[in-house]
Structures are given as C-alpha cells and as structure tokens.
Amino acid sequence: MGAIVDGISSGGGTPLVVAEWTDNSSARAIGVVHLKDIVKVGIRERFDEMRRMSIRTVMITGDNPATAKAIAQEAGVDDFLAEATPEDKLALIKREQQGGRLVAMTGDGTNDAPALAQADVGVAMNTGTQAAREAGNMVDLDSDPTKLIEVVEIGKQLLITRGALTTFSIANDVAKYFAIIPAMFVGLYPVLDKLNVMALHSPRSAILSAVIFNALVIVALIPLALRGVRFRAESASAMLRRNLLIYGLGGLVVPFIGIKLVDLVIVALGVS
C-alpha cells in the first residue's frame, strides 16, 4: 500500500487511503483513491512566456512535496512550496517583498485571502470564495492564473508608452531649439553661423517652421498615445535600449528633417 501511495504522489496525484473498521475496532486499509489535478493545455507555454518577461513563478500548494514537485515540473513553474498553510503563504509574500521584489498572487480559496491582500497585485479567481475575491485587487472572470501575463503586459505598456512619449518630447525639444536658435540670432551673434547647420531661410521662417512642425508632431503622436507602444516579452534593459534608440534618437533626428522641410515649403509658397 505504501508503494502505491508513493507512486501516486510522485506522479503528481493526491492519494486518499480508504479504510474500514474491523471487528476489533481497528482500521484496515482496503484501497487508495487517486486524485489528480489536470494541468490545462498550453499552461507550460504560458509560464515560459512569463520567464521571458523575467517573471519568476512559484506554485504554493497544500499537497505533499512529492505531488507538488511533479505538478510543478509538469506545469513548468520555477519553484514550489508544498504543505503550505495560510501563514506560510503570507510569510513567502512578505519575504519576497522585503527582498525588493514586486509580488503578484493568484488564488481562489479562503486560505489564500491573507496572501492576496499582502501581495502588490492580488488576482482572485471568479470561481473562488467570497473571501478571496474581497482580498484581491482584481477578479479574473475567466479564472485563469496565467492571466497575470495580461496584467503585466498592460501595466508595462502604460509605463513604456509614457516613457516613450516623454523621451521623444525631451529629445524633440532639445533638437528643435538647437535647430532654430542659431537661425534666429545669427544676425546679432555671427559666431552662431557655425551652428546654423540647417541653413534656414530667415529668423521668421525658422520660428514659423518650428511652430508648424510642433503642431504636426502633436497630431502625429495622438495615435501612439491612444494605441500605446507595442509590448514585447523581453528584459527591461533590452526594452530600454530599444525605446531609447527609437524614441530618443528619433526625437533628435525628426525635428531637423521636419523643420527643414517645412521651411522649404514656406519659402516656396512665399509666406516668409
């Protein structure tokens, strides 16, 4: 019987021993019920995606270590905590937070409520208990623990979009003033002629070109602000380098090209 129980546990199942009372008032094991949680199709790929996003996953369960280890390996999580009590779950959340990490927790049971309330982001399953739903920051109507991917993606997309717009705006302003100031004051300070690399037609056309270009840029950035910057599952350093290259360098280059083109149009139309 012990070998059967160990085999079920090592296979990711939960063994329940069935016993009966004998005539001498002692219990005798007569069988084992094999219970097993079914891992959803595609769950391993979802956890792989979390790993690419630099998210470490930990499965917390009340099952015995052998069962927990087998399920963790099948699902593809990074680590597990077996035979966990509500206090153990809460302690794990606090320990990770004390290490300077942001912690998200998903759960559906009453014993998950303290940890859900302590976590930076607590996602309760819609099929869970009332206590869990009240303790979490949000309720997942689909009851999918990997919905954290969407939560992280939306949050990072908001931060990336805000950072991209800010980076582009700062770079754009620096380049814009560097482009028009030499043209505006070259008459008063001839030494600025060396910085007048764009050779704008006149101070008036320089100012008018900058104003028109600024209005066009605001209109052009509206779709980006509404749609957001596309999020990719990559490390924070890779995202930073990519966005600095696109929006930082782009913010420096675009004003020179845009203002010069507007200046040429203004001169051609005889506005300046």
Boundary of a domain, candidates 149, 173, 193: 149
Last-in-domain residue among 149, 177, 202: 149
SS3 category, 162: helix
Q: What is the rounded distance in angstroms from the CA atom of residue 65 to the CA atom of residue 131? A: 27
Tokens for 77, please give them: 């999580």
Which pLDDT tens digit goes with each residue over 191-216?
777 777 777 778 788 888 888 998 99
Non-local CB neighbours of 61 within 8 Å, separated by 6+ positions: 67, 68, 71, 80, 81, 82, 84
Average pLDDT (187-192) is 77
pLDDT one-digit tens code per residue, 206-255: 888 888 998 999 898 888 888 888 777 676 777 778 888 888 888 888 88
Share of the chain above pLDDT 90, in %: 24
Instruction: Clarify whether residues 65 and 104 are in a common domain.
Output: yes
**162 and 233 housed in the same domain:** yes
Looking at the domain assignment, is residue 9 inside a domain?
A: no
Q: Is residue 263's pLDDT more than 70?
A: yes
pLDDT at position 130, please? 93
Q: For residue 6, what pLDDT band results from cuts at 50, 70 and 90? A: confident
**164 in a domain, yes or no?**
yes
* H-assigned helices in the chain: 2-10, 43-52, 65-75, 86-98, 113-118, 130-135, 148-185, 203-227, 236-243, 249-269
27-36 and 13-21 beta bridge pairing: antiparallel
Whether 81 and 173 map to the same domain: the answer is: no
Handedness of CA 29, 31, 33, 34 (dihedral sign): positive
Question: Taking the alpha carbons of 4, 29, 62, 107 in that order, is the dihedral positive or negative?
Answer: positive
Residue 229, domain extent? 151-269
Q: Is residue 3 part of a domain?
A: no
Looking at the fold, whether 260 and 157 belong to one and the same domain comes out as yes
Same domain, 99 and 175: no
Judging by beta carbons within 10 Å of its beta carbon (0-12, 13-18, 19+), is residue 178 exposed, middle or buried?
A: middle
Q: Are residues 121 and 197 in the same domain?
A: no
CB atoms within 10 A of CB 133: 19
Q: How many Å apart are CA 78 and CA 80, to the nearest integer?
A: 7
Residue 222 counted as domain residue: yes
Q: Is residue 28 part of a domain?
A: no
Task: Retrieve residue 20's tokens.
Answer: 């009966």
Are both 188 and 166 inside the same structural domain?
A: yes
Q: Are residues 162 and 243 in the same domain?
A: yes
Mean pLDDT across the stretch 167-194? 81
Burial call 14-45: b when 16+ CB within 10 Å, e when fewer:
bbeeeeeeeeeeeeeeeebeeeeeeeeeebee
The lowest-confidence range among 33-42, 247-256, 258-267 is 33-42
Report the CATH number that the domain containing residue 86 is assigned in CATH. Answer: 3.40.50.1000
Residues 129 and 209 in one domain: no
Q: Looking at the 3D structure of the chain, how many domains does it have?
A: 2
Provide the token pair at 125.
């399953």
In a domain, 5, yes or no: no
What pLDDT was estimated at residue 89?
Answer: 94
Asked, for residue 126, whether it belongs to a domain, the answer is yes
Could you say which DSSP state residue 243 is in?
Answer: H
pLDDT 10s digits, 45-68: 888 888 888 889 999 988 888 888
Tell which residue, 100, 107, 54, 99, has the closest CA to residue 81. 107
pTM above 0.85, yes or no: no
Residues 244 and 177 in one domain: yes
- pLDDT computed for residue 272 by the predictor: 62
On whether both 141 and 212 belong to a single domain, the answer is: no
HEC readout, 94-155: HHHHHCCCCCEEEECCHHHHHHHHHCCEEEEECCCCHHHHHHCCEEECCCCHHHHHHHHHHH
Average pLDDT, the chain: 85
Query: Both 139 and 175 in a single domain?
Result: no
Using the 3D structure, point to which of 122, 149, 176 is the last residue of a domain: 149
**Residue 184 included in any domain:** yes
